[in-house]
Structure 1
Amino acid sequence: MNTSTTSIPFSLFRGGTSKGVFMPSDRFPADRTALVPMLLEIFGSPDPRQIDGMGGGDKLTSKAALMGTPTVPNADIDYLFAQVGIRHAEVDFNLNCGNLTAAAAAYAVREGYVQAHGDVATVRIHNVNTKRIIVAKVPLRDGAVLETGTLMIGGVPGTGAAIDLDFHLATGAITGALLPLGEATSRIEVPGHGPLNVSVVDGPNLIVLVCAEDLGMTGVETPDDIDNNAQLSGVMQRVREAVAVRTGLSDYWYSRAAPSTPMLVAVQSPRAYRAYTTGEQIEANDVDLICRQYSTSATSKALAATVSAAVGMACRIPGTLAAQHVRPDQTGPIRLGHPSGTISVDAAAQQDGATTRIITATIERTARLLARGELFLKNPPLRSPHG
């Protein structure tokens, strides 16, 4: 890239309950140390309003995706995800965003990385962060991405066309093992709290499951209820820290002000609550498992797609806290209740002796292209791009 170039083409997509800025990777440095300040400038961080950039002041809208030619076999496109800090001048690459993976699939079709023939395009997405492949099925009409449809997503107004995302090839994304602690449920010591039962599952993202009642929760708290409870959020953070240390992530954890990984999910058996965004009554019969997700020092208003897939996997692994709390005799897709509604995961596992192998972990998301244009940088990069 010419160092005098100050503009970068972008596409703004909503993917599931997230929103991200998609940009071609060949316009950026390969060195992530050089990449970080560019992304901070693009998003207007650090600033709680991100007023001088593309960020929306919420972790669900402070996301970037760098897209490019695949660098591994059996993939159609490379997708590097970046969680851009809002209050802190840092960018986290140690995770994937499943919601934006739906948008990444739509981007791949729109930009010609895969051919748009028939009713469905299969897109094999290489998530560069986790070095895993996610297989997406993108609906088509007349050779173009179909965005209109009947799928409703909790936390997103209206409906859209379903994009299937299969994460079963993405297990062990962070640690390399589906069960990093070696057991479905482990008892760990949490500083300032004492011993606690946890299930640590590494699917497309690393999650730590905790019984809501063990944290003094009902399980149906709103994000505000959790974030405004310093004692509760403090315990959640210490649980995450303890698991980070146990899974070999100490260097990552202590180098960041707001580490994303691992993500804590408090689980509870089905019960009724009101949706955080709409006030709609969600009955106990509408869900198979209640979940509340906490990471980056805040509670998510909706369950992340990769976290949903990981929780779905956990529901099919005997002995995990999710399997213990999911609706008894549940069959078919697992309906997970999060603050803004529900998300379903079609998950299945197979036992090979003492080893559990995930054979299906599919969710449905919608995506929509919101805008296209040019981003203008005040401080052009000084290093050469990759490619």
Structure 2
Amino acid sequence: MNDLQKIPCVLMRGGTSRGPFFLASDLPRDQAQKDATLLSIMGSGHPLQIDGIGGGNPVTSKVAIIGRSKVEGADIDYLFAQVRTDRQYVDYSPNCGNMLAAVGPFAIEAGLVQGQGTDTLVRIHNVNTGKLIEAKVPTHGNEVIYLGDASIDGVPGLAAPIALTFMDAAGAKTGKLLPTGKAIDIIDGVAVTVIDCAMPMVLIRAIDLGLTGYEDPQALTENRELIARLARIRIKAGQLMGMGDVTDMVIPKPVLISPARKGGTLSVRYFMPSECHPALATTGAVGIATAAVTDGTIAFEDAGKLTVPTQIQIEHPAGRLDVQLEMRNGTITAGLVRTARRLFEGYVFAKPNTAIENAA
């Protein structure tokens, strides 16, 4: 196997996502070589990713790259990579809040952060967005505790709770909470809210697209007319947000908004962007919750015109995700609970770097 690259790797579940975690020092510094390595590791370009360790779905084709941070107020850097399943393409434009749940545990076990007491605070700088997130990781000394009594919808069983706090998520990519300067825009004949908070998104009332918003995710994914229309809307939204041509990017994400049915604040269907998420992205939840307290947005109207501090309960296909909004130093912070698990550690093998179809 000396013709293959042998790279230390830890496979982890973070929230409702899963993927390999790497130390930045173990991957090539050259961007093209790094992309080629990740594409080979994941098996990108095949729908099942049969020649790699990817899971053939956007939520299991994610990579976390971790290193020490030189950013003031941060312990570690976290670079997220969304590896496309359908073709050889690595997208570094978004953050992933579910994978983020496993970043703190990985950093402690990799020796990048010293565990302390029963809870260890890990201050994370997300390289993709430049934003800071605090993770409170259950520990026993320097040992990470994974077993516990917390549950999150979309993941079976119980685990130890990891509290994430997004310190100032507004303007993650564009620098503005409402990049167009308006709470409502009209795109493709429907009213939308274009918002950039943890994740750039386009919020659309499901009823305006002839849907209830409670449909099964697979049925929505297979509705090719819907997917084509959402693509038109998000491409136009990307232009309005100043992001240029977003055709090959996974942001902004389209989100269908509907009234809650099970006692929550809102019900949503979140797209990635051409497949409906089986649950809900953590970053998406932060942005949707913030929209719910932002005057004039679609979410604000449907949530009942709430003000901070408040808890936003977002219903999704797998259950519910609660986001606690608070004010700190004049900005909104968003807190939520996720869980994580270390699945295996060892080495992954990548083919030698060769020319790739299209690397970000």
Structure 2 length-normalised TM? 0.93
Answer with 118-127 or 31-40: which moved more: 31-40
Partner residue of 1:101? 100
Partner residue of 1:244? 238
Unaligned runs of 5+ in 1: 272-283, 383-387
Kindly provide the amino acid, as one letter, of the partner of residue 144 in structure 1.
E
Unaligned runs of 5+ in 2: 356-360
3-state SS of the aligned residue for 1:159?
Answer: coil
Answer with 228-237 or 7-16: which moved more: 228-237
2:187 counterpart (167, 170, 189): 189
The alpha-carbon distance between structure 1 residues 79 and 117, as it changes in their structure 2 partners (threshold 3 A), is same
The alpha-carbon distance between structure 1 residues 131 and 329, as it changes in their structure 2 partners (threshold 3 A), is closer
3-state SS of the aligned residue for 2:101?
Answer: helix
Partner residue of 1:124? 123
Partner residue of 1:228? 222
Whether the aligned pair in 2 keeps the contact of 1:5 and 1:380 (CA below 8 Å) is no
**Given the alignment of the two structures, is residue 371 of structure 1 paired with residue 349 of structure 2, yes or no?**
no
Partner residue of 1:316? 293
Whether the aligned pair in 2 keeps the contact of 1:270 and 1:327 (CA below 8 Å) is no
Whether the aligned pair in 2 keeps the contact of 1:4 and 1:380 (CA below 8 Å) is no
Partner residue of 1:264? 254
**Given the alignment of the two structures, is residue 206 of structure 1 paired with residue 200 of structure 2, yes or no?**
yes
3-state SS of the aligned residue for 2:242?
Answer: coil
Partner residue of 1:299? 276
Mapped to 1, the partners of 2:324 and 2:99 lie a distance apart of 19
Partner residue of 1:281? none
Kindly provide the amino acid, as one letter, of the partner of residue 179 in structure 1.
L
Shift of 1:71: 3.1
Whether the aligned pair in 2 keeps the contact of 1:166 and 1:361 (CA below 8 Å) is yes
Kindly provide the amino acid, as one letter, of the partner of residue 22 in structure 2.
M
Mapped to 2, the partners of 1:14 and 1:41 lie a distance apart of 20
3-state SS of the aligned residue for 2:235?
Answer: helix
Whether the aligned pair in 2 keeps the contact of 1:313 and 1:349 (CA below 8 Å) is no
Trace 1:42-57 onto structure 2 (pairs within 5 A). Answer: 42-57=41-56
Instruction: Kindly provide the CA deviation profile for residues 66-111 of structure 1, in whole angstroms up to 9, marking residues without a partner as x.
Output: 1112132221111110000101110110000000111011111111
Mapped to 1, the partners of 2:114 and 2:168 lie a distance apart of 23
3-state SS of the aligned residue for 1:309?
Answer: helix
Partner residue of 1:280? none
Structure 1 length-normalised TM? 0.86
Instruction: Kindly provide the CA deviation profile for residues 193-245 of structure 1, in whole angstroms up to 9, marking residues without a partner as x.
Output: x2x21112211111111111111110111111211212222211111111011
Mapped to 2, the partners of 1:4 and 1:130 lie a distance apart of 36
Whether the aligned pair in 1 keeps the contact of 2:14 and 2:100 (CA below 8 Å) is yes
The alpha-carbon distance between structure 1 residues 169 and 381, as it changes in their structure 2 partners (threshold 3 A), is farther
The count of corresponding residues between Structure 1 and Structure 2 is 353
Mapped to 2, the partners of 1:151 and 1:56 lie a distance apart of 25
Mapped to 1, the partners of 2:154 and 2:187 lie a distance apart of 35
Shift of 1:333: 2.1
Mapped to 1, the partners of 2:208 and 2:137 lie a distance apart of 41
Partner residue of 1:325? 302
Answer with 299-308 or 198-207: which moved more: 198-207
Mapped to 2, the partners of 1:169 and 1:5 lie a distance apart of 42
Mapped to 1, the partners of 2:3 and 2:50 lie a distance apart of 25
**Given the alignment of the two structures, is residue 215 of structure 1 paired with residue 209 of structure 2, yes or no?**
yes
Partner residue of 1:336? 314
Shift of 1:309: 0.7
Instruction: Kindly provide the CA deviation profile for residues 274-328 of structure 1, in whole angstroms up to 9, marking residues without a partner as x.
Output: xxxxxxxxxx22x221010113311111110000111111111121111111257
Answer with 15-24 or 296-305: which moved more: 296-305
**Given the alignment of the two structures, is residue 84 of structure 1 paired with residue 62 of structure 2, yes or no?**
no
Instruction: Kindly provide the CA deviation profile for residues 174-195 of structure 1, in whole angstroms up to 9, marking residues without a partner as x.
Output: 1111111112x222232xxx2x
Mapped to 2, the partners of 1:141 and 1:130 lie a distance apart of 31
Shift of 1:39: 0.6
Trace 1:147-186 onto structure 2 (pairs within 5 A). Answer: 147-183=146-182, 185-186=183-184
Aligned-residue CA RMSD in angstroms?
A: 2.1
3-state SS of the aligned residue for 1:160?
Answer: coil
3-state SS of the aligned residue for 2:106?
Answer: helix
Answer with 225-234 or 19-28: which moved more: 225-234
Trace 1:130-145 onto structure 2 (pairs within 5 A). Answer: 130-145=129-144
Partner residue of 1:345? 323
Shift of 1:378: 2.2
3-state SS of the aligned residue for 2:80?
Answer: strand
Mapped to 2, the partners of 1:4 and 1:229 lie a distance apart of 44
Shift of 1:349: 5.6
Kindly provide the amino acid, as one letter, of the partner of residue 187 in structure 1.
D
Give the fraction of aligned pairs with identical amino acids, expressed as a percent. Answer: 39
The alpha-carbon distance between structure 1 residues 381 and 375, as it changes in their structure 2 partners (threshold 3 A), is farther
3-state SS of the aligned residue for 1:243?
Answer: helix
